[in-house]
Structure 1
Amino acid sequence: MDSLLNFFSLSLFRLPAGEDVSFKLLVDEEIEDTETFQLEFVETDKYAIRVCDPKKNSRDAKFWKTVAAGIQANGNSKDQADCQFSVEYNGKHMHVRAPGGKYVSVRDNGHLFLQDSPKDFIFRLLNRPKLVLKCPHGFVGMKEGKAEVACNRSNFDVFTVTYKEGGYTIQDSCGKYWSCDDSSRIVLGEAAGTFFFEFHELSKFAIRAESNGMLIKGEQSGLFTANGSEVSKDTLWEF
């Protein structure tokens, strides 16, 4: 069973500061406020993980901190080197790498520990049900007169994001879904394609198509195609 990790919010047991952090293996995928941990951007592909307590001011919340071979929730600042975790992506999976290079994993009893090999987590976007996307060429929206998506629009479209088995479907305001056609262009239709989100920079992320494993790439002409092989300014989308 894959462990469930939510971007911006982690499905974990919240324990008092100074105690080991435990992971809850969810069966029904219900997310409770007392289980959420917030990922805060530090630098490219690196985050601090803050313990969220709805009863306290978020500024007073502690961060994950590596201690020996485990993790404790007693970090005071995201500027501390031992509170900064790297993230890596592999399709629908995210790997969380602790300071020192070891990966975060989960024991059978739910406790987090560090190991040499990556552990697959599935993350679920909780607080972004609507998306407005922008790139250097303009906003992302429906191409006039065609059932295609373009990235050089002067006006933005609002898209609805829905979680689906480790990925996401993206729907426009008319109820049409994104998918890839035979040329890897992103088109709108009744059939929903699945896409994976990869967060790399502050307010910017890449979108990977499940159908061909490629990143969506934008061009000045407005072409919006899943043919990008690496993360770059042409495959990062401001949200």
Structure 2
Amino acid sequence: MNNYTPFCCRLVGIDVTANQEEETDKETFQMEYNREKDAWAFRTIDNKYWSLDAASAGVQARSASVTPQALFHLEWLGDGTVAIKASNNCYIFNKATGSLVATTEAVGEKEKFKIRIVNRPLLVLKCEYGFVGVKAKSEECCCNRVTYDLIQLEGCKDGTYNFKASNGKYWSVADNDMVMLDGDGPTPFIVEFKGNSKLTIKAPNGNLLKTEQNGLFKATGTEVNASTLLEF
């Protein structure tokens, strides 16, 4: 997970900081969704969870289990960044020292983070009508396939993602808002997690990818609902 500034969050002792540019296992965190609280826990490589320290409002990785102080709410900001709200109802930001603290009540540039998927190089996407993949004898992307297609996911440092289809072509968006699998080069999409194994994908036109029962897969969605949520 990366901060909006060009630094990575990492574990230093028990403190979680964001003041270095290199990426190692210390900068990789497992996100675990809590359905009851609609919140997320962050597990470190040492199997400790991020937790809010009540005295300092700092974020430390010292909890052996998911306590109320170890749950955080994610607020997706629509531009590939996310704000993280701690159990004290304040947003996390990194101080000049790099330490992460939760003391602000509004989201500004310093409260923006980017989350980059590192363990999902291949995706299978499914909606209520079937699997997402290549429509037979065409370069259209459809969402009612009976069998799945493997989709290659490429994360970018600016927080966007590129999708490459099983035909070797990148996803693109046509003038009629159809998702096409015909790109020789990548098109940036924004991915937002919406709970356990659910996500939305925002196209460059600002709309969400929307599924239809007839298999049409178009960048026309304007709200998060059953037609714009994809299971991965």
TM-score of the superposition, structure 1-length normalised?
Answer: 0.86
2:16 counterpart letter in structure 1: V
Q: Deviations over 1:192-222 (max 9, x none)?
A: 211111111111111111x211111101100
Gaps of 5+ in 1: 6-10, 54-60
The alpha-carbon deviation at position 39 of structure 1 amounts to: 1.1
**SS of the residue aligned with 1:182?**
coil
Match for 2:106 among 91, 114, 117? 117
**SS of the residue aligned with 1:3?**
coil
The alpha-carbon deviation at position 76 of structure 1 amounts to: 2.8
Q: Deviations over 1:27-62 (max 9, x none)?
A: xxx421133222111127520111213xxxxxxx22
1:138 aligns with 2:135: no
What's 2:72 paired with? Answer: 85
**SS of the residue aligned with 1:77?**
coil
**SS of the residue aligned with 1:73?**
strand
Q: RMSD in angstroms over aligned alpha carbons?
A: 1.8
Gaps of 5+ in 2: none
**SS of the residue aligned with 1:169?**
strand
What's 1:24 paired with? Answer: 19
Match for 2:148 among 149, 156, 169? 156
1:172 aligns with 2:172: no
For this pair of structures, how many residues does the alignment match?
Answer: 220
Identity of aligned residues (%): 37
The alpha-carbon deviation at position 4 of structure 1 amounts to: 6.1
Which deviates further from its counterpart, 219-228 or 68-77? 68-77
TM-score of the superposition, structure 2-length normalised?
Answer: 0.88
The alpha-carbon deviation at position 23 of structure 1 amounts to: 1.8
Q: Deviations over 1:165-191 (max 9, x none)?
A: 320110112221111111211011224
What's 2:216 paired with? Answer: 223
Q: Deviations over 1:89-138 (max 9, x none)?
A: 12211111111321110012110011222211122110001011111101
Match for 1:47 among 24, 28, 40? 40
